[in-house]
C-alpha cells in the first residue's frame, strides 16, 4: 500500500507546471510603510509555501519596497493611526517616526522575521513574480536600474491583470 | 297589706319627685341655653355665608362634578390596575413633594416667569456659560436625568433577543444542506482527513495530515518510502535537507520552515522549491518524520 497522504494536491517530482485549477493569488502592494508592506511580503511567502501561485504588483509608495536605495529605510507611520501606541500629539514630533520604527524593527528582528530586502529576495527565490508599476515608476522618476534585481518586470496594471489571469486579486 | 301598699306609693312618689326634678333641670337648661344657641346659630349662619362668599361650596360642587368625570373616564378595571401601581405613585408623590424638590420646582417656576428677559444664547456663549460652576452642576443633573430617561425608555423599547432553539442533533450529526443559509456559499470539504485522526501505515502511526507521530521512530528506509508516496526520488540534496531538518528539530524542539532549512542546509530557497515542489517546508518535514512546521516565514 502506498503512502496514503499522496493526494491530488501533492506536486509531481519533476517540478512540472502546476495542473490547471491550481490556486492563484495576486497581491497589490500600494503602501511603503514597514507595517504596511511586511504583511504583503509575509502573505506572499506563506502562499508560496502552501503551494499557491503568487504574484505581487508594487505601485505608488509600494515601489519603495523594491527600490534598492529605499528598501532598507522603510518606516512605520504612527501619525493618524488609531491603533498606534503613540498619541498623535507626540507621534508628530521630529524623530518620533524613526524612534517608533526602530522599536518595531527590534520586535520584528526578535521574532526572526526577515528584513524587507531579504523577504523580497526570498519571494523571488520561491518563484513569486514581483512586478513594478510602470505608471508609478514614471511618477516617482525611477528607472529599472533603481529597482532590486529580484523584480521580474515593469508592467502596467492592465498587463498585471492579464498575467495573473484566474488569480484572486488582493489589494493591500 | 296597707304596709305593702304604702311602700309602693312611697317608691312611686320618689320616682315622681325625680322626674319633676329632671323636668325642672331641663327647663332651666333650655331657658339658659336658648340665647347661647341663638348666638351659635347666628355664628354658624355667618360662617356659612362667609364660606359661600369665599366659594367653598362652589369648589365642593365642582369636586363633585370632578368625581363624576373621574368615574366616567375610569372604570373599575382601571382602578384595579391603579391599585397595583399605587406604591410607585405614592413614592413618586413623596419624592416630588420633598422640600428640595418643591424648592427646585419653585426655582424653575421663577426662571420661567422671567424667561422673557433671558437673552438668546449662541454656541460660543453656551461654551463660556459652561464654565460656570452652577451651570456645570445643572448639566450634570440634566445628563443624569437624560441617562435615567434613556434607560427607562431603552428597557421598554429594547426588543427581546430571540435565540433560535438549539438543535439537539446539531453537534453530533454532520451539517445537512438544509442548515446552510442560502446566501452562504457551501465550502468544499478539504480532501485530507482531519489532523487529529491517527492513521497507521507500514507499522508506523501518522496524524491525519501524514506527519509521523513519533519522530524517534523515523529511519531512512521509511523516509524513502514516504518520499516515494509523495512522488519524490530522494537524492543527495534531499538527504542533506532531511538530515538538517531533523537535526534542527532535535536541537530546537520546533520544525524548521523553508527559510531555516534553506540557509541551514545550504541548498537555498530556490533549490528547496525544486527538491520538494509546491510545499517545500511541509513536504520536507513530512519525509523527515518531524511535525508540520508552524512558522510563516
Q: A106: pLDDT confidence band, cut at 50, 70 and 90?
A: very high
Q: How many CA atoms lie within 13 A of A168 on its CB side?
A: 11
Burial A75-105 (b: 16+ CB within 10 A, else e): bbbbeeeeeeebeeeebeeeeebeebbeebb
Q: Give the active site residues of B.
A: 296
Closest Cβ–Cβ partner in B199, B233, B296 for A46: B296
Cα separation, A56 vs A120, in Å, equals: 10
Average pLDDT over residues A126-144: 96
pLDDT at B241: 94
For cell 502552501, what's the residue? A50
Pick the range with the lowest mean pLDDT from A94-98, A168-172, B104-108, B188-192. Answer: B188-192
Average pLDDT over residues A140-165: 95
pLDDT in tens, B177-232: 555 445 545 555 445 555 678 888 888 888 888 899 999 999 999 999 899 888 88
pLDDT at B159: 60
Q: Which residue has the higher pLDDT, A26 or B60?
A: A26
Q: Please say whether the beta carbons of A53 and A132 come within 8 A.
A: no
pLDDT in tens, A46-80: 999 999 999 999 999 999 999 999 999 999 988 88
Q: Kindly give the pairing relationship between strand B198-201 and strand B204-207.
A: antiparallel
For residue A17, pLDDT beyond 60: no
For residue B81, pLDDT beyond 80: no
Contacts of A46 in chain B (CB under 8 A): 296-297
* DSSP reduced 3-state for B271: helix
Nearest to B249 by CA among B289, B278, B217: B289
- Domains of chain A, CATH where assigned: 30-171 (3.40.1260.10)
Q: Which residue has the higher pLDDT, A137 or B102?
A: A137
Residues of chain B numbered 243-282 and touching chain A (CB < 8 Å):
257-259, 268-270, 272-274, 277-282
The reply to whether A126 touches chain B by the CB within 8 Å rule is: yes
Question: Computed from CA positions of residues A87, A88, A89, A93, in that sequence, does the dihedral angle turn out positive or negative?
Answer: positive
Average pLDDT over residues B110-137: 84
Extended strands (E) in chain B: 198-201, 204-207
Average pLDDT over residues B98-120: 83
Residue A110, min C-alpha distance to chain B (Å): 13
Closest Cβ–Cβ partner in A6, A15, A113 for B230: A6
Cα separation, B121 vs B109, in Å, equals: 20
Contacts of B281 in chain A (CB under 8 A): 49
Q: Which site among A9, A13, A19, A119 would you substitute to test the B interface, given the most B Cβ atoms closer than 10 Å to its Cβ?
A: A13
Q: State the ipTM, two decimals.
A: 0.84
* DSSP reduced 3-state for A129: strand
Percentage of residues in chain B with pLDDT exceeding 70? 86
Q: B26: pLDDT confidence band, cut at 50, 70 and 90?
A: confident
State whether B210 and A5 contact (CB < 8 Å). yes
The runs of H, that is alpha helices, within chain A are 34-49, 88-91, 96-110, 116-125, 134-139, 157-163
State whether B191 and A7 contact (CB < 8 Å). yes
Identify the closest residue of chain A to B201 by CA–CA distance: A3
Amino acid at each position: 500500500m502506498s503512502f496514503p497522504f499522496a493526494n491530488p494536491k501533492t506536486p509531481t517530482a519533476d517540478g512540472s507546471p502546476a495542473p490547471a485549477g491550481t490556486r492563484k493569488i495576486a497581491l497589490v502592494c500600494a503602501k511603503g510603510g514597514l507595517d504596511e508592506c511586511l504583511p504583503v511580503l509575509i502573505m506572499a511567502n506563506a502562499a508560496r509555501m502552501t503551494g499557491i501561485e503568487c504574484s505581487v504588483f508594487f505601485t505608488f509608495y509600494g515601489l519603495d519596497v523594491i527600490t534598492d536605495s529605499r528598501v532598507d529605510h522603510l518606516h512605520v507611520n504612527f501619525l493618524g493611526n488609531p491603533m498606534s501606541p503613540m498619541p498623535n500629539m507626540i507621534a508628530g514630533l521630529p524623530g518620533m517616526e524613526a524612534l517608533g520604527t526602530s522599536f518595531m524593527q527590534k520586535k520584528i528582528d526578535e521574532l526572526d522575521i526577515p528584513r524587507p530586502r531579504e523577504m523580497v529576495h526570498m519571494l523571488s527565490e520561491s518563484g513569486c513574480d514581483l512586478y513594478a508599476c510602470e505608471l508609478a515608476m514614471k511618477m516617482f522618476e525611477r528607472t529599472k536600474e533603481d529597482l532590486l534585481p529580484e523584480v521580474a518586470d515593469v508592467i502596467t496594471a492592465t498587463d498585471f491583470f492579464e498575467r495573473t489571469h484566474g488569480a484572486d486579486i488582493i489589494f493591500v | 297589706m296597707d304596709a305593702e301598699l304604702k311602700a309602693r306609693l312611697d317608691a312611686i312618689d320618689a320616682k315622681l319627685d325625680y322626674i319633676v326634678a329632671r323636668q325642672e333641670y331641663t327647663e332651666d337648661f333650655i331657658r339658659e341655653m336658648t340665647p347661647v344657641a341663638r348666638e351659635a346659630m347666628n355664628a354658624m349662619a355667618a360662617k356659612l355665608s362667609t364660606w359661600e362668599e369665599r366659594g367653598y361650596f362652589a369648589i365642593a360642587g365642582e369636586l363633585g362634578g370632578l368625581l363624576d368625570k373621574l368615574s366616567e373616564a375610569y372604570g373599575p378595571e382601571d382602578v384595579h390596575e391603579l391599585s397595583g401601581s399605587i406604591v410607585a405613585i405614592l413614592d413618586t408623590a413623596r419624592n416630588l413633594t420633598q422640600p428640595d424638590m418643591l424648592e427646585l420646582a419653585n426655582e424653575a417656576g421663577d426662571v420661567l416667569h422671567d424667561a422673557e428677559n433671558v437673552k438668546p444664547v449662541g454656541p460660543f456663549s453656551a461654551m463660556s456659560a459652561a464654565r460656570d460652576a452652577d451651570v456645570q452642576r445643572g448639566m450634570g443633573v440634566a445628563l443624569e436625568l437624560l441617562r435615567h430617561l434613556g434607560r427607562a425608555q431603552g428597557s421598554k423599547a429594547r426588543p427581546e433577543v430571540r435565540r433560535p432553539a438549539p438543535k439537539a442533533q446539531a453537534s453530533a450529526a454532520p451539517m445537512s444542506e438544509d442548515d446552510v443559509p442560502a446566501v452562504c456559499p457551501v465550502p468544499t470539504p478539504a480532501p485530507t482527513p482531519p489532523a487529529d485522526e491517527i492513521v497507521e501505515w507500514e507499522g508506523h502511526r501518522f496524524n491525519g495530515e501524514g506527519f509521523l507521530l513519533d519522530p524517534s521512530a523515523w529511519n531512512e528506509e521509511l523516509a524513502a518510502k514516504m518520499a516515494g508516496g509523495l512522488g519524490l526520488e530522494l537524492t543527495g540534496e534531499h538527504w542533506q535537507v532531511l538530515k538538517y531538518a531533523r537535526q534542527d528539530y532535535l536541537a530546537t524542539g520546533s520544525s524548521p520552515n523553508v527559510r531555516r532549512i534553506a540557509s541551514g542546509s545550504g541548498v537555498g530557497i530556490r533549490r528547496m522549491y525544486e527538491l520538494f515542489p509546491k510545499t517545500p517546508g511541509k513536504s520536507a518535514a513530512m519525509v523527515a518524520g518531524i511535525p508540520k512546521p508552524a512558522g510563516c516565514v
